[in-house]
Structure 1
Amino acid sequence: MASNNTSYDLNLVNALFDGAANGEYVRDQISGTYAAYHTSESTESPKPSAYGSDIIAQLKQREVHAIATAESGKIEDAIKELSDIIAEYPEYASAYNNRAQAYRLTNASSSTIIADLDTAIKCASDNQTLGQAYTQKAIVLKAEGDQDGAFHNFSQGAKYGNEVAKMAAPKENPYAKLCGQMVAQAMQQLRSPN
């Protein structure tokens, strides 16, 4: 009998059941993390952009430069560049999201990171930024031990098309975790009945 399962379905099943007992994510289990954002699941439209397309294009160029600066190891300089963008354009959500990522690399406080992510969510005018900000916030909350907050934010990230969040949300669902543990235990018992 032919299988109708897609590679996404198989990755989801693997992510749910592999390591179900400890709830850890293995990067290789999550495919398509940089895939295009699919908005068919989102029932809400983000608000309109506060800035025109010409300004957005300029801001994106400045952001690309800041990201390249961070990638070269000059994270504090990148934070300064992103902070300059935010000072000039306080409703440009993507800069808050990227600054939060840079802060994470410097081990800044969770409250500082979450403040930027909350602002990114509030100001976002596109699904990609919303998906990234919610997913990044979920990761921070999970690291703090806030499982309910992590689940909610992964769910929101998935709603806005983030592929990592789509893979993580089912694993953060407390019922799915319990189910995964029960299935893993049953499979273990089937493999070694003694």
Structure 2
Amino acid sequence: MKEHYYDKLLNINTKGVQKERNKVVHYNRYEPTPYSAIEKLFESYQLKSSDRLVDFGCGKGRFSFYIHYFYKASAVGVEMNGAFYQEAIENQDRYARKVKNESHHIHFYCGLAEEYEIDHRDNRFYFFNPFSVQIFMKVINNILLSYENSERQVELILYYAPDEYVHYLETQTFFEFKEEISLVTDYNQDPFERFLIYQLSY
């Protein structure tokens, strides 16, 4: 129900799951973050209009459009799949008509996550288990290098994070655990159904 409601509200089409597995080693199959989960996240987590969030493995751009529409935050979607990237661009055109061309605060990058050059304005980073921990480590290292060149408050938002992500962050980086937002219910007992927030703390 919410999938249809929000797509219609935002004038986009982001439904569907990638049926075949990625042919690129270390990258996982695309699946959009459920709108119900996004709602739950922002009941607790605050995003400001001055924030710029990077969504690694953005697919058709759902998360980017949501945060811009409701919080006026800027967004960058990073997607390696050319077909999904093209759908994100088409969604951006439709979304622009909805918000009267304010969509210039949303950008999409077609390429591998580890090759995306972290901008000094990027300060929030979203991961829905998009790739292996080896790629995750490279991306985190890029974020840390960017921070060294331009200090700012940096936070990670992890959804359905594998244990390897958590172990790496907590044992080998300066990121500190900040908050957990659980989505576990009487009907859903999956312990990985949660958001984990980490804040960079040197």
> In terms of Rg, which structure is larger?
1
TM-score of the two chains, using structure 1 as the length reference: 0.27
Higher strand residue share: 2
Higher helix residue share: 1
Structure of higher RCO (CA pairs closer than 8 Å, 6+ residues apart): 1
